[in-house]
Amino acid sequence: MSRDIPTASHHKPLRLKTFLMIFVMIIAGPFGNVLLGRGMKHIGSLALWPASQLLHTGLRVFSSASIWLGIASLIAFFVSYMLALSWADYSFVQPASSLAYGVVALLSWLILGERVSPLRWAGIAIICLGVFVVSHTAPRTTTRKTAG
């Protein structure tokens, strides 16, 4: 049995839609997490006990627009993650999505007003360099199994 060797032209549509979904992941995941963080900081400390406080806590959390926008953004992340994994190897998608670390730091600095140290930026740059290396490999190294 011969195994088809995928060509560069064979991977072009796969690469485009995979990279598009990874881009959505890189933006939507960190944005959702930052919005959740902002919403929870705005709400303040929550009490889970006594039990009578539990309802009050839930109402405070789920009446926040930032929390709902964060949830919606994380759902977009999850859907794009599932799509990317259906088209490409996990060993390609997961490292490529690590660019989100840079977006997390940038959004934390811009939206939450957090200080990001130069050492942390250097670590993020090293991660991005690794993503650059991974992005120059084929998104899929296995062949699809067909039903029937």
pLDDT of residue 147: 57
pLDDT of residue 10: 53
Tens digit of each residue's pLDDT (9 = 90 or more) over 5-51: 454 455 566 678 888 999 999 999 999 999 999 998 888 777 767 77
CA-based torsion, 143, 4, 12, 146: positive or negative: negative
Look at residue 60 and tell me whether its pLDDT is greater than 90: no
Distance of alpha carbon 136 from alpha carbon 148, whole angstroms = 34
CB atoms within 10 A of CB 137: 12
pLDDT of residue 148: 53
Greater model confidence, 139 or 17: 17
The answer to whether residues 112 and 37 touch, using CB atoms and an 8 Å cutoff, is yes
pLDDT of residue 13: 67
CB atoms within 10 A of CB 52: 8
